[in-house]
Structure 1
Amino acid sequence: MLTELLHGADTGGFLVIQDSTSCSGRHLLESFISAALNREEAVHVLGFDVSEEELTGGLKGSAIERLHFHNAYTDPLGWTDQPSLTLHQFCSEELSHLLKPTSHSKSTILVIDSLSWILRHVNPPAVCKTLHQLRKGGAVRAIIALLHADMHQRGTVGSVCHLASSVIKVAPGMKGDETVAKITKRSKSGKVVQDEEIFSIKEDLSVTVHSKRSQPGLKQTETEEQEADPTANLTFNLRLSDTEREAKEKLALPFVFSKEKKSALLHSGPGSGRILYEPDANDDYDQEDPDDDLDV
């Protein structure tokens, strides 16, 4: 699934690379940038975390000409007189004007490096609204964002990941050059697919997937839950023997009427009682107003 996402199959989607202090997702972000440039797509990077030199250090070739770096690293809050990009410009109107498509590129990819810097200074609902408008507005083909999960509360991370069509959570692998990617992908029909892959990144930023594993220990846990008997250590018996079950089925419940009892109740036979009422002479009963005797 990681290779499929790198090839750009998630058209019109929002991809989140979720990392932490134990494992950085920056190299994977650079691999997505390199893959998009090789597809002759224009890549616009909103750079908050690192400088342009550091981001483009591993990118080589003529494809780098289609990379447009919008510098928010130098002055993100607009303290100088002429800032390149500030947090105040993170809205759908400003970004749509900034991300003008070029005639030499097939489509436009927006890369946010990183979304955590924006979430630390802008209200999270406003950030989610802007991301949603960019996806629906058609200004870009896809959005790729790096998110440092351990910098935010769970609710903020959950809101952003719920908005995303694909989430890649990276974790350290068994070997030094290997990384574990836990991928969650949501299709337009609402179907959710999860996968776990072990990969490594080469010097040319190409990604090699070594193996796939589907959450080890999950099947074993399900088997243990099925084999465990919750009634094993009880001091009383919750199960019925064959004899007890047969006796239970033959027992007539008091609120269940048999056919004979229903017939006897519906068809009264000789000797059945009836209640007859004959008005007395003292009864003041008006047929036109039956409630005339009531003091209302």
Structure 2
Amino acid sequence: MLLDVLQGADAGTFIIFLDTANFSGRSLLKSYINTALKREDVVHVLEFEVSEEELRDGLDSQCGRRMHFHGGFADPLGWMKRSSFNVHQFISQDLSTLLTQTQQSRSAVLVIDSLSWLLRHLDPVVVCQRLQELKRGGAVKTIIGLLHSDLHQTSVVESVCHLASTVISLAPWTKGPWALAKTTKRTKSGKVLQEEELFSVQEDLTITVHSKVSHAVPTQAEPDSEADPTANLTFNLHLSEMEREAKEKVALPFVFSHEKKSALLNPGQGAGRILYEPDENDDFDQEDPDEDLDV
């Protein structure tokens, strides 16, 4: 999937390379720039972290006329008025004007190196709003951004990545000389695809995918159906024959014997009785025996 993303040319794509201090994603970013130039796309680069010379190093020199740098490296905050572009000019209207002044008839690929610099000096909400405006504006075909995830809070990183159609998380591979790329791609239908691959970047900025990473899920052993669950109890659940006979001879409470039942049902002489004779003041209604109650 990594090679498909790098070689894709879908309009409206927003790709984020998510790296850390343990592994830099700039080589992969430059590889995408080189691929876009060979695809005859017009590429605009907002440079904040490294100079134009460093970004041009290794790129196809024959495609230089389709590549435009908007320097913010020398004066990224615009304090000395030495840069052609600064952080505070990251506005959709200004960017659209900047791109249409230099590009050909087709939409451009906008490369931001890096989004972390913008997030450190602008409100993250403002950055997300302006990225969304660029996606919908039409002047930009594809947005590519490098984001250092270990410089920001998790909520900020997740908010920016939520706008992206593809997020490529990069990390070093401890078991070899390669790197690990976890690609999360959201299709237009809403389906989310994920894949982890081991890759390396060659000197000519081409990407070589060596293998896919599969995570083995440990399976739990099925319980033995023949095992006795009462085998290791500290008490005995079974009765011997003598214990069962003794249990059956015990008279249960609230169970009357035949003799007790006869004594209760056929009281003998001298048994007490309650007699009630209603007087003339009693007003007893057979249909409503509770008439005298205030209910």
Distance of 1:164 and 1:119 partners within structure 2 = 16
Q: Which has the larger displacement, 204-213 or 34-43?
A: 204-213
The whole-number CA distance in structure 1 between the counterparts of 2:69 and 2:35 is 16
Q: CA deviation at 1:276?
A: 5.9
**One-letter identity of the residue aligned with 2:64:** I
Residues 162-177 of structure 1: matches in 2 within 5 Å? Answer: 162-173=162-173, 174-176=175-177
Q: Distance in 1 between matches of 2:223 and 2:62?
A: 62
The aligned amino acid for 1:36 is A
Letter in 1 for 2:166: S
Indicate conservation of the 8 Å contact 2:45/2:113, yes or no. Answer: yes
TM-aligned CA distance change 1:26 to 1:189, over 3 Å: same
Shift of 1:202: 1.1
- Count of residues paired in the alignment: 233
Distance in 2 separating the partners of 1:88 and 1:40: 30
Give the drift of 1:189. Answer: 1.6
C-alpha distance in 2, partners of 1:55/1:158? 27
Larger Rg: 2
Contact preservation (8 Å) 1:42, 1:107: yes
- Name the residue aligned to 1:79: 79
Cα deviation for residue 10 of structure 1 reads: 4.0
Cα distance per residue 1:26-65 (max 9 Å; x no partner): 1000000000000000000000010000000111331122
User: Counterpart of 2:246?
Assistant: none
User: 2: CA distance between counterparts of 1:179 and 1:101?
Assistant: 39
Match of 2:253 in 1: none
1:113 aligns with 2:129: no
Describe the superposition over 1:178-227 as per-residue Cα deviations: whole angstroms up to 9, x where unpaired.
1110010111221111100111111111111111123x14x22xx34x85
Using the aligned pairs only, state the percent identity. Answer: 53
Give, in angstroms, the shift of residue 82 of structure 1: 4.5
- TM-score norm. by structure 2 comes to 0.73
Structure 2 vs 1, CA of residues 211 and 102 (structure 1 numbering), >3 Å: closer, same or farther? same
| 1:236-255 deviation per Cα after TM superposition (whole angstroms, max 9, x unaligned) | xxxxxxxxxxxxxxxxxxxx
| 1:251 corresponding residue in structure 2 | none
Q: Distance in 1 between matches of 2:222 and 2:11?
A: 44
Partner Cα separation in structure 2 for residue 24 and residue 228 of structure 1: 47
1:78–1:103 distance in 2 versus 1, CA, 3 Å: closer
Deviation at 1:228, TM superposition (A): 8.3
SS in 2 for 1:203: coil
Equivalent residues of 1:19, 1:149 under 8 A apart: yes
Residue 56 (structure 2) pairs with residue 51 (structure 1): no
Q: Where has structure 1 moved over 6 Å in runs of 4 or more?
A: none
Q: Distance in 2 between matches of 1:10 and 1:103?
A: 18
Letter in structure 2 aligned against 1:26: R
The alignment status of 1:142 with 2:156, answered yes or no, reads no
Cα gap change, 1:102/1:84 in structure 2, threshold over 3 Å: closer, same or farther?
closer
- The residue number in structure 1 matching 2:7 is 7
Counterparts of 1:58 and 1:34 in 2: how far apart (Å)? 9
| Counterparts of residues 162-201 of structure 1 (less than 5 Å) | 162-173=162-173, 174-176=175-177, 178-201=178-201
Deviates most, 154-163 or 74-83 = 74-83
Aligned-pair Cα RMSD in Å: 2.6
